[in-house]
Amino acid sequence: MLPLALAACDGPQSALDPAGHEAEAVSQLFWWMAGASLVLWVLVVGLSFYASRRREQPWPARRAARLILVCGALLPTLLLAALLVFGLRLMPVLRAPGDGLRVEVEGQQFWWRVRYVLPDGRRFETANEVRLPVGSRTEFLLTAQDVIHSFWIPSLGGKMDMIPGTTNRLVLEPTQTGRFRGACAEFCGASHALMAMSVEVMEPEAFTAWVEREAGAAAASTDEGAALFLARGCGACHTVRGTAAAGRVGPDLTHLGARPTIAAGILPNSPENIDRFIRETQAIKPAARMPSFGMLPPAESAAIATWLGSLR
Ligand code: CUA
């Protein structure tokens, strides 16, 4: 059990290795709760053991009643009340306002639509990737399109449900730069376990440069893959800004080549993996809304994948 338990203490997706203000509160709460639970457990087990050994010579009734009152009622009440007060005191951290940047995320089976609303009012869309500036508070507005999902970046903060027809709010303040992993934390269908996202916390200047690039359209291209993308109907579901592809069903692919992962955080980004995903969608992500396009001639899907991979 111990190696299993310790395996959760590190890595890009651990609530116990906090890289954000809100995650620190969660991790603090966890360790205090775990510590207090351990004290209670030792007490209860110790007393049971003691009682079983004393069966032959029972205590006088008054002494036994006092023991039950103190150890069975008073002590747990005090300990649990202290934990409640401690937990409530952490809550304002989770309710404070943001610093101006807003990210609207919509969960869908089995990916994330991500819309950035900048402090100057500009907005742009991306998918399955969240980038944040270190040291400032970003406000997330979370909803879902089809079923309930849950937005969770363990290294940065607690999870929040995404419910169709409702908007939930979450504010995250990362305190360290780095790459992290987010995951869907609510069972949402066959590929729930394959619904992840890549998260990158950047220095403010690098973040601004990314925003400027990401807000723009894709570079014009006479690439064969660009023509095939439209000719084979990919644009009916996907948007690539700067081209005629303006579909709203699937993820926006405008700067797909610049994302570290594809298919909602489950495959490293490379033209080979994009090609594989186009041809074997249902094998890689069962029950996704995109059908497998294995019927395309291999040269065509490879050309489309190469073009998509070049969109930076
Ligand atoms: Cu989306 Cu689980």
Pairing of strands 168-172, 149-152: unpaired
In this predicted structure, the answer to whether residue 94 has a pLDDT above a threshold of 70 is no
Q: What would the mean pLDDT of 178-184 be, rounded to a whole number?
A: 95
ipTM > 0.85 for the complex: yes
Query: Which CATH superfamily hosts domain 224-309?
Result: Cupredoxins -  blue copper proteins (2.60.40.420)
Backbone angles phi, psi at 104, to 5 degrees: -100, 120
CB-CB neighbours of 261 under 10 Å:
18
SS3 call for 292: coil
Write the pLDDT tens digit of every residue in 163-172: 999 999 999 9
Q: Chain-wide mean pLDDT for the chain?
A: 91
- Measured in Å, residue 186 CA sits from the centre of ligand 1 at 5
Residue 192 makes CB contacts below 8 A (sequence gap 6+) with: 110, 184, 186
- Measured in Å, residue 109 CA sits from the centre of ligand 1 at 7
In this predicted structure, the answer to whether residue 7 has a pLDDT above a threshold of 70 is no
- Measured in Å, residue 206 CA sits from the centre of ligand 1 at 30
SS3 call for 274: helix
Query: HSE on the CB side for 228, CA within 13 Å?
Result: 18
pLDDT band at 278 (very low <50, low <70, confident <90, very high): very high
For the CA of 195, the closest atom of ligand 1 is: 1
Pairing of strands 102-108, 138-144: parallel
Q: What would the mean pLDDT of 279-294 be, rounded to a whole number?
A: 95
For the CA of 185, the closest atom of ligand 1 is: 2
- Measured in Å, residue 263 CA sits from the centre of ligand 1 at 14
For the CA of 192, the closest atom of ligand 1 is: 2
Annotated domain spans of the chain:
1-202, 224-309
Intrachain domains 1-202 and 224-309 with the same fold: yes
- Measured in Å, residue 238 CA sits from the centre of ligand 1 at 21
- Measured in Å, residue 300 CA sits from the centre of ligand 1 at 32
In this predicted structure, the answer to whether residue 136 has a pLDDT above a threshold of 70 is yes
Residue 175 makes CB contacts below 8 A (sequence gap 6+) with: 18, 19, 20, 21, 24, 134, 135
In this predicted structure, the answer to whether residue 311 has a pLDDT above a threshold of 70 is yes
Cα 207 to chain center, whole Å? 19
For the CA of 144, the closest atom of ligand 1 is: 1
pLDDT band at 8 (very low <50, low <70, confident <90, very high): low
Cα separation, 16 vs 8, whole angstroms: 7
- Measured in Å, residue 249 CA sits from the centre of ligand 1 at 17
Per-residue pLDDT, 15: 84
CB-CB neighbours of 86 under 10 Å:
14
Which pair of structure tokens corresponds to residue 133?
């500036």
For the CA of 187, the closest atom of ligand 1 is: 2
Identify the H or E element spanning 27.
helix 21-53
Q: What would the mean pLDDT of 164-192 be, rounded to a whole number?
A: 95
Cα separation, 161 vs 165, whole angstroms: 12
For the CA of 162, the closest atom of ligand 1 is: 1
Closest residue to atom 1 of ligand 1, CA basis: 149
Residue 5 Cα distances to 9, 10, 16, 92, 308, angstroms: 7, 10, 11, 29, 40
The whole-model pTM stands at 0.87
Cα separation, 300 vs 224, whole angstroms: 9
Residues having CB closer than 6 A to ligand 1 are 107, 110, 149, 184, 186-188, 192, 195
**Considering the domain 1-202, what is its CATH architecture?**
Sandwich (2.60)
Write the pLDDT tens digit of every residue in 242-257: 999 999 999 999 999 9
Cα separation, 230 vs 285, whole angstroms: 23
SS3 call for 273: helix
Identify the H or E element spanning 198.
strand 196-202
